[in-house]
Structure 1
Amino acid sequence: MLIERHPELTHLVDLPSTEPLYLRVKLSSEKSTMLALTKFRHSFAWAVVDPVLHTGPSVWPLDTPGEVLVDALHAYASAYLTGSPVPSPWRWQESELSEITELADHLDGRGIRVQRVVAQNRYRADGPFYEPHLTIADRSAGAYAEITFPDAEVRVSLKPHLGWIVDMYAPEWDIWSRVDIGWSLGHGISPRPGGRLQDFPVSVVADLLSAGRKAWQIHEAWETPEVSQPRHASQEALFTLAMPSPMTLDELFSDSTSRPQRRTGLQDIVEAVLGQLTTFGFGDVSEGDGDAPIRSDHFHIEWRHQAKDISTSEMQRLNGVAAAAAASEEVPKRLIVITSGGISRPASAFADKAKAFVFYLDRKTGRLGAHNARAQEVLLPRQAPRNQP
């Protein structure tokens, strides 16, 4: 297939008759690029070895079409033979051009270091070049690029539902915060996270990122540390959240006049949820009152403390409540649900279709998780960038 698709390499192709089996293109007496089925600890993957020393292999899943593998091999071989860089999208270990590879090309052309691009190919080799290990990016992270600036580490994602999401990592605190694209470009604080591709083309996002940290408007970071894993003293001073002893949400959201000793716990939970929603990029949320602990002009926020899973009919009812709440207002309201219970799979799918966000509340820590795809897209990354310790 390699010879058929790229006949100019025919005289350079080498296929051994004994194991280990590999497909090699001999580029000089000392340099080669090759394709081999490779074991990474407990997993197998295809690896295309770059002829340039001290660089990791390009790694591809086992079900990658043969045409993609031989074209990747050709891209590395022809780049070396012509003395030119590996072309896009192959240089990003992708087989198809996309908005993310286009963004990476823009930034790389301006001298900004793009650490990795992840779109269709979720496989990457990490670690030292002489002993790489396989990592597989979670599909819920969407397509993204990880970028290193002199004073920041940034992940730029293009989410299916929300569009552009820009997150910045602060190594001194080991936390992520979110860049508001619209706000940064002078459009005001966005009521919801993300920025649509049709509103913010690739070139606009590239210009904003190229301007550097001074040009970014960043939502204040809020961290809810796990009770069992306190951070070091300097972080505790900034982000300590005094969580109450475990209780049911029936107790937590019961009438405060009958349980005055619980009022501090309720306030802590509300502050934790409000802080996280603000950090995620819900720009118009604010503290409310007892009937509506958190208010928003663009979202109707429902608090649920039932133990049983949310059903499709219940999700439809809550969505109707949100619509009714905005019936007399100019701005239609979407739904945010905060629940300590579960949700059925059909109800989660309906919530995505209704453009609602359903968050799971861990009442022991105050931390929010995701119960549907839209909520998953707004969560901050949980791990440091690959080039951080």
Structure 2
Amino acid sequence: MPSALPEGDPAPRDGSLPPAALASAAERPLAFYLHVPYCATRCGYCDFNTYTASELRGSGGALASRENYASVLAEEIRLARKVLGDDPRRVATVFVGGGTPTLLPPADLAAMLDAVRQEFGLAEDAEVTTEANPDSVDRAGLAALREAGFTRVSFGMQSASPHVLRLLERTHTPGRPERAVADARAAGFAHVNLDLIYGTPGESEADWQSSLEAALAAGPDHVSAYSLIVEEGTRLGQRVRRGEVPMTDDDVHADRYLQTERVLGAAGFAWYEVSNWATTPAGRCRHNELYWTGADWWGAGPGAHSHVGGVRWWNVKHPGAYAQALAEGRSPAAGRELLDAEDRRVERVMLELRLVDGCPLALLRPAGLAAARRALTDGLLAEEAFADGRAALTLRGRLLADALVRDLVD
């Protein structure tokens, strides 16, 4: 959950949505994102809306405490029920992110999920994910989460190299993520993800190879691999600006991505989104797929973003301000925007192009369609998909996806 909030129009105090946003809602899936903004320490590269205990001390008081957070967030879920009225949809997916959700006791995470279950109900095959740091869980806690209805867990592994973990300021040691996966399997989780980051300054090809091999040896059915982005305002960004550590070259990022595809592909993982691989379709993150295909989701928690029927809004960032709004009976939304048809077309192209099936060519305007034909000639788009009316990325196209999408949305 990025820390910066966009500009937008004022949001209604009661959180109400335009009638058009709720029209035909039953035809769209509904998901919930539950943001837990607490971390034990702040990683040097992190730009997410998270807070350590020292950052909250004296700022928001009891309203910002971890101890009562589950009950505060449940208030927003009840607000969602009021806003969505008699919406008949059961929730298809729930994703608890952060921050470090597993800093909260399993009973608190279970209570947050229960609030969704009580207000909306969960689909029979609902996917329920929590993020976790490898050193913030144990087998008993994971078993409690599984018993509460969580079906999937995502561990932030990032790297198996000690010097890379130190530079990223991660608190776990090499080997701990593998043990966490084993504990999750023992607790009954069929679906386990490991998050990896490549392109850290000083990371070698051998470092990245060892990270990929360690991740595979742990036995997850899903791997996410992201290129490190050095954000302004982070400690890592400050170190780069001072010249203490070098920026990683774009060509190195491309090499690491190709290495990732080779290693994961050989191990039976197939990409389904540019940064995500799974061993089977059932192992894919269905929650993220709903984001990428424009479904409805309610984001509860400080700084969380939501989207329902072409209306997007975002909550105030600070846990104290968030809790205060709910205590006063008003929406914690800081602002919102209404997406018009062109906004939604552009977003569909930007997001769906990153998926293995690509985006419909019918979404492209003449200039974008001409750019797609050039990309096909250049080997960036798959010929078979193009013949079927879709723009789908080749491996080379994945390396240039960000630049290509800018041409296609014209």
Give the TM-score category using the shorter length: under 0.3
Q: Which has the larger radius of gyration?
A: 1
Q: Which has the higher strand share?
A: 1
Greater relative contact order (CA < 8 Å, ≥ 6 in sequence): 2
Name the TM-score, length of structure 2 as normaliser: 0.24
Q: Which has the higher helix share?
A: 2
Name the TM-score, length of structure 1 as normaliser: 0.25
